[in-house]
């Protein structure tokens, strides 16, 4: 059984803050500064370039990839860390398209994160062979999986509403018509149990700065299923994905399997922060996290619906169809979120009218949920959001 008092104690959380935005940027584990500092001193200070081998920096993307693989039901040796999620989606999509050269459609949904859609549009443009991105409403995806589809590219949990696709069912449906799947796990990894091999997923990618708590700018990861790993081509042929990077050959030769998805020099300081974050995850049971997350989300929904009838639930009511976040529509959602943040309850706002709250059992408990509901109810029922300073739009919401 996961000890949630212990996990909460692993994080630095500012006094008086109820942090419901760990789905955007996780808080800092207490162990992280020392772990990052160790890379600076003594590793970098004393070993200089020798640190690549001596301190294990060079193989960290693969070493951490294996630790992530164990958390998402992936086979060891089939996950590698690096770059950003947008880039890993691009690589996965390019590799997937190349496996279906006679098809031209990338199918996704209109709720997908814009960067994933932009990457697909950019790749289609670069290919210039008639490849196009087709987006349909999330609930209509299944019926559009036809034999014109080369790649089904979806984010399992919708960043805005928390709506969850059935990864296993949709992957099977895609395979029935001969399509390849690319799954984005941005709001799944660390939020709910993921079983990539069990779902038969072909490619997947995710990030580590949201639920995983590896810090701003922490790298992404990519998964390539064993059946494709020896054939998948990376669109970004960087030297770190070469079979012999230090042979400095003129021509590209892919490294074995998922290692070919490495691109350039890894972010070593950020990888140290990721290591510290994973140390915590290895002490918890993902099924406990899921059970607790559902409990917290249900408690929040019930509390808000009872005390703030002006807010309308934007997330699925059925917990099984939801990730680990709850969103509400409210016309003055932006101002209401600013008012909440001013009172120490940090969530975020997604246009046009969504107030979004992430529930992260590692450091959020039922008492935080109750307090957040109380503060929200005051803001809504007394119109405390109705002040000019809460309506000034910031660049980052
Ligand atoms: C957060 C998020 C991203 C962000 O991509 P970066 O390249 O890491 O900035 C991409 N896709 C989804 C679905 C996300 O939620």
Digit-by-digit pLDDT tens for the chain (397 residues) are 899 999 999 999 999 999 999 999 999 999 999 999 999 999 999 999 999 999 999 999 999 999 999 999 999 999 999 999 999 999 999 999 999 999 999 999 999 999 999 999 999 999 999 999 999 999 999 999 999 999 999 999 999 999 999 999 999 999 999 999 999 999 999 999 999 999 999 999 999 999 999 999 999 999 999 999 999 999 999 999 999 999 999 999 999 999 999 999 999 999 999 999 999 999 999 999 999 999 999 999 999 999 999 999 999 999 999 999 999 999 999 999 999 999 999 999 999 999 999 999 999 999 999 999 999 999 999 999 999 999 998 877 7
Q: Is the CB of 212 under 6 A from ligand 1?
A: no
DSSP 149: E
**Vertex 298 angle, CA 293 and 300, to 5°:** 95
Q: What span, in angstroms and rounded, lies between the C-alpha atoms of 180 and 201?
A: 8
**Ligand 1: which of 24, 88, 91, 116 to mutate, most ligand atoms within 8 Å of CB?**
116
In ligand 1, the atom with minimum distance to the C-alpha of 159 is 15
Q: Where are the alpha helices (DSSP H) in 55-202?
A: 60-71, 85-98, 114-127, 167-176, 196-199
Q: What span, in angstroms and rounded, lies between the C-alpha atoms of 357 and 20?
A: 5
Q: Is the CB of 321 under 6 A from ligand 1?
A: no
Whether pTM exceeds 0.75:
yes
Question: By alpha-carbon position, which residue is closest to atom 4 of ligand 1?
Answer: 85
Q: Is the CB of 113 under 6 A from ligand 1?
A: yes
In ligand 1, the atom with minimum distance to the C-alpha of 187 is 15
Q: By CB neighbour count within 10 A (0-12 exposed, 13-18 middle, 19+ buried), where does 121 fall?
A: middle
Is 184 labelled a binding residue?
Answer: yes
Domains, in order of start, for the chain: 4-29+285-391 (3.90.1150.10), 32-281 (3.40.640.10)
Question: By alpha-carbon position, which residue is closest to atom 11 of ligand 1?
Answer: 113
Is 85 labelled a binding residue?
Answer: yes
- Contact criterion met (CB below 8 Å) for 347 and 337: yes
């Amino acid at each position: 059984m996961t000890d949630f008092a212990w996990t909460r104690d692993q994080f630095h959380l500012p006094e008086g803050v109820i942090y419901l935005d760990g789905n955007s940027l996780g808080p800092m584990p207490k162990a992280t500064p020392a772990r990052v500092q160790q890379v600076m001193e003594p590793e970098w200070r004393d070993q200089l370039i020798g640190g690549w081998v001596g301190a294990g920096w060079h193989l960290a993307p693969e070493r951490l990839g294996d630790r992530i693989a164990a958390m998402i039901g992936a086979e060891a040796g089939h996950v590698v860390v690096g770059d950003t999620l947008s880039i890993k989606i691009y690589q996965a999509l390019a590799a997937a398209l190349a496996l279906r050269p006679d098809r031209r459609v990338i199918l996704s949904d209109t709720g997908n994160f814009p960067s994933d859609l932009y990457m697909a549009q950019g790749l289609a443009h670069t290919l210039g062979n008639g490849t196009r991105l087709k987006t349909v409403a999330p609930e209509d995806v299944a019926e559009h999986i036809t034999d014109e589809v080369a790649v089904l590219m979806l984010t399992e949990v919708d960043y805005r509403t928390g709506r969850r696709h059935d990864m296993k069912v949709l992957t099977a449906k895609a395979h029935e018509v001969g399509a390849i799947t690319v799954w984005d796990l941005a709001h799944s990894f660390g939020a709910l149990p993921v079983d990539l091999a069990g779902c038969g997923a072909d490619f997947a990618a995710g990030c580590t700065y949201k639920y995983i708590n590896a810090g701003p700018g922490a790298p992404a990861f990519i998964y390539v299923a064993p059946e494709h790993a020896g054939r998948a081509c990376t669109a970004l042929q960087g030297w770190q994905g070469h079979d012999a990077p230090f042979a400095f050959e003129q021509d590209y030769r892919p490294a074995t399997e998922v290692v070919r998805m490495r691109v350039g020099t890894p972010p070593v300081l950020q990888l140290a922060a990721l290591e510290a974050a994973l140390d915590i995850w290895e002490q918890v049971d993902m099924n406990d996290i899921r059970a607790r997350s559902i409990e917290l989300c249900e408690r929040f929904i019930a509390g808000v619906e009872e005390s703030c009838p002006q807010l309308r639930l934007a997330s699925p009511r059925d917990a099984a169809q939801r990730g680990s976040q709850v969103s509400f529509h409210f016309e003055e959602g932006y101002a209401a979120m600013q008012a909440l943040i001013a009172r120490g309850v940090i969530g975020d706002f997604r246009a046009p009218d969504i107030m979004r709250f992430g529930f992260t059992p590692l450091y959020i408990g039922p008492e935080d949920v109750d307090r957040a509901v109380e503060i929200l109810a005051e803001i809504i029922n007394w119109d405390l959001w109705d002040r000019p300073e809460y309506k000034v739009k910031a660049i980052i919401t």
